[in-house]
Structure 1
Amino acid sequence: MIIRGGVRHLQIWKCTSASERPCPEAAGACDRWHSGWFLPALCIPQERATALDELIVTSADGEHLPVHTRNRRDARRTSYVWALARDVQRWREITGESGLAPDSSPAENEAVTYTEQVLDSSCRYGEEGPHSSGPRPQRELTSGTGLHTFDNAPDHTLLQPTRPIALRLSPRERLAVAAELRCPPWEIGPCMLCATAIHRYGPRSPKVCSGCRASATIQ
């Protein structure tokens, strides 16, 4: 199976004005509950990333499972992701979806059509709002995250992070690390694999430390 969405983690939160996440369906807080699949760096708190060689082992052991999510507005817009088995089980309980890929082959009586459409070549410089030269509608982001919205709180809403990444440095220690790495202190962050303090943010900054990169190269 082709995996396009990477390894993701289930996040469940209530959409309020004090929430750390913006409402995915409205301009302001909707006071409802949302759930979706997010990359480790976008989880709250942040989760540790899963390396490819680790995913091969954990998927064989059943620790990670493939998940197929479908856009609620368009069933043909789907995403394939890997997720922890406990998150998949929790997601199936609250959404009722199986996570299995449907048969994508067209029906025997379904006609295959093609409509030629000309690109819009007019200049829109200075006009407000986003514009696209392609006639096709832009894809939504809900298919990538498997967004679901609930009026009432799902059972066992709070999920303990499995492998949270936390960089606990005092202001003095952060300044010392920044001086050693020759970068501003606000660009110091944890390695996505081992949580070592590195030059994580900013232009041309790596996501993992040199030790993790070296071990991945050797393997």
Structure 2
Amino acid sequence: MTSVSERNPQMLECLAHHRGKPCASEAGGKSPWMFIRRARVGGRSPLLAAHLPITHKPTPAESDQHKATKERIVETAEGYGLTANAEMGMPNQRGVTDAMVTGPSGIQIGWEIRYSPLSPSSVHRRSVNAMEHDITPLWVAKDDTAVLIDRAPRARVDDMFWREIADGSEMVIRGGYRHLQVWRCLASSALHCPDNGGTGHCGAIHAEWFLPALCDPPKPPVRIEDLILTSATGDSVPVFVPSRGGGRAGRHMWVPRTECRTWRELTSQWDPLPKVQEQEADDEITFSEQEIDRSCRAGEEGWFRSDARPVRDLGQPTGGFTLARMPAQRKRRATWITQVERAAAAATLGCPPSEVGPCIGCGQLMRRYGHNAAMACDSCRASAIPRQRGA
């Protein structure tokens, strides 16, 4: 899709101007020439003629914002001792990435800064082109309605003035980076049960991905400098987490490598990114025959205004893995514990998997080995203590 600034400005002419009648756009000091743009109305995508300029066109401030972000990424990477280059061409000469950061082990991160609108097909094409050359794309957006969200590994930052970016003001990742939370669903749990609509407690072990501020306890915010370093060193990795409903829907996110390993052990999802074979289509274009409108509509408020884009960067937990509670009074040797059960229990208890074992009383997994470990869980130990007289 050609940008507005690169299109022939004399392809279409306002019919009012052509017939010698007043053109509101020309009267306002602008051009009477028009172009075809895609609208979004009621779930449809009709085409309509519009005066120039009417859709997004990069302003000097936005161009400086893009440039400042790119320079900050390169300078930060070089400050960490990483190899970084701006405007790096792809090996097949099919595109240029805004900033290429290479880690000490050869991991290549292609930073794509996109503060202006982009079609889904463009996101798909450029992401696939990068991955075919062992480059992990990392898209940067500032709008929670951007179409690139959850179509590729990405990070969303605040809409900042370019001078703030250049001066080193804090750039927090607001969306696109998450932490894994694994917890036993009990009445004492601070996290809600995802299987019961947020109410009640089922006793199972759940695993979900949370934004840092929504974790228990809350995690510190992730800054863009953190992601520049950890993505290149492999300490943060991209992962695609399918939605609970299944299908192709899901979340693209960056996560700590250790937590990603736990997630993969629990779910057996080993592919960091989905393998999409087909080109993702843009919104379907529809046509309905109407009488030609020969009047000039430039500047009219509300005329054929496009629907607002839906918010895509939602903050709800995602993931949806549940491990059923182990049956009570099920005594078995520790070597019979499955890998998934051991990994889930270790994440819940906050101990190494090697220290997990069954309670000698009820068989529930607990911290059985290592420092400060016990042979029985708290409940079994409490029930074994004789009640005092009069209690």
TM-score (norm 1): 0.53
3-state secondary structure, aligned to 1:54: helix
Name the structure 1 match of 2:232: 60
Which structure has more relative contact order (CA 8 Å, sep 6+)? It is 1
Report percent identity of matched pairs.
33
Amino acid at match of 2:241: T
Moved over 6 A (4+): 112-115
State the shift of 1:6 in Å: 1.8
| RMSD, aligned CA | 3.3
Amino acid at match of 2:182: I
Amino acid at match of 2:222: T
Which structure has greater strand proportion?
A: 2
3-state secondary structure, aligned to 2:259: helix
Of 176, 184, 187, 1:6 maps to 176
CA contact (8 A) 1:69 1:99 kept: no
Amino acid at match of 1:11: Q
State the shift of 1:71 in Å: 1.2
CA contact (8 A) 1:16 1:31 kept: yes
Of 132, 135, 147, 2:320 maps to 147
Q: In 1, distance between residues paired with 2:203 and 2:315?
A: 19
1:84-109 deviation digits (Å, cap 9, x = unpaired): 111011110111111422233449xx
State the shift of 1:43 in Å: 1.2
Q: Does 1:41 align with 2:213?
A: yes
1:105-126 deviation digits (Å, cap 9, x = unpaired): 449xxxx9899xxxxxxxxxxx
Describe the shift of the 1:74–1:143 C-alpha distance in structure 2 as closer, same or farther (beyond 3 A).
farther
Q: In 2, distance between residues paired with 1:114 and 1:57?
A: 42
Task: Give matches, 1:1-219, under 5 Å.
Answer: 1=137, 2=139, 3=154, 5-26=175-196, 27-106=199-278, 145-152=318-325, 154-156=341-343, 157-159=345-347, 160=350
Q: In 1, distance between residues paired with 2:227 and 2:200?
A: 37
Q: In 1, distance between residues paired with 2:218 and 2:253?
A: 18
Name the structure 1 match of 2:329: none
CA contact (8 A) 1:70 1:143 kept: no
Q: In 2, distance between residues paired with 1:92 and 1:17?
A: 27
The answer for unaligned runs of 5 or more in structure 2 is 1-136, 140-153, 156-174, 287-311, 327-340, 352-391
3-state secondary structure, aligned to 2:342: coil
3-state secondary structure, aligned to 1:79: strand
CA contact (8 A) 2:191 2:216 kept: no
3-state secondary structure, aligned to 1:10: strand
Q: In 2, distance between residues paired with 1:52 and 1:10?
A: 20
1:107-159 deviation digits (Å, cap 9, x = unpaired): 9xxxx9899xxxxxxxxxxxxxxxxxxxxxxx9x8985112111047314344
Q: In 2, distance between residues paired with 1:53 and 1:89?
A: 23
CA contact (8 A) 1:67 1:80 kept: yes
Larger Rg: 2
Describe the shift of the 1:142–1:41 C-alpha distance in structure 2 as closer, same or farther (beyond 3 A).
closer
Q: In 2, distance between residues paired with 1:87 and 1:38?
A: 12
Amino acid at match of 1:155: R
1:36-72 deviation digits (Å, cap 9, x = unpaired): 1111111112212211012111110111111111013
Amino acid at match of 1:148: F
Q: In 2, distance between residues paired with 1:73 and 1:14?
A: 22
3-state secondary structure, aligned to 2:225: helix
3-state secondary structure, aligned to 1:7: coil
